[in-house]
């Protein structure tokens, strides 16, 4: 039996090329993501308060689930305090996702 020659469409060639270039594109993209305020907040918090990282992530998850106003009311906190905790938690998760 003769083997069939596999014919690759232009779209298949394009996908293969995109996969081959993924590492290069990702590296430059990840570097650009490090030049953001959210990254800076996350990096600062993780560096200055490593003992609070898990706590702020847990609390920000709860705020996200309940909503800012509901969480603030249930915990007798100001809306601004809850917003700051939510943003800090998001920043820490963002930072951890970028640095791995």
- Classify 6 as helix, strand or coil: coil
Q: pLDDT at residue 8 above 70?
A: no
- pLDDT interval class at 51 (50, 70, 90): very high
Contacts of 74 (CB under 8 A, 6+ apart): 66
**Residues 71, 62 contacting (CB under 8 angstroms):** yes
Q: Both tokens of residue 1? A: 């039996």
Using CA atoms, how far apart are residues 100 and 96, in angstroms rounded to an integer? 6
Mean pLDDT of the chain: 80
Evaluate if residue 45 carries a pLDDT over 80: yes
Q: Note the pTM of the prediction, 2 decimals.
A: 0.67
For 42, counting Cβ atoms within 10 Å of its Cβ (0-12 exposed, 13-18 middle, 19+ buried), the class is buried
Average pLDDT over residues 80-87: 95
């Amino acid at each position: 039996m003769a083997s069939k020659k596999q014919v690759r469409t232009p779209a298949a060639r394009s996908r293969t090329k995109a996969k081959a270039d993924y590492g290069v594109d990702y590296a430059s993209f990840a570097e650009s993501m490090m030049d953001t305020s959210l990254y800076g907040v996350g990096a600062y918090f993780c560096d200055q308060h490593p003992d609070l990282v898990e706590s702020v992530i847990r609390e920000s998850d709860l705020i996200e689930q309940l909503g800012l106003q509901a969480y603030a009311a249930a915990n007798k906190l100001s809306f601004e305090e809850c917003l700051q905790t939510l943003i800090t938690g998001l920043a820490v998760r963002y930072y951890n996702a970028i640095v791995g």
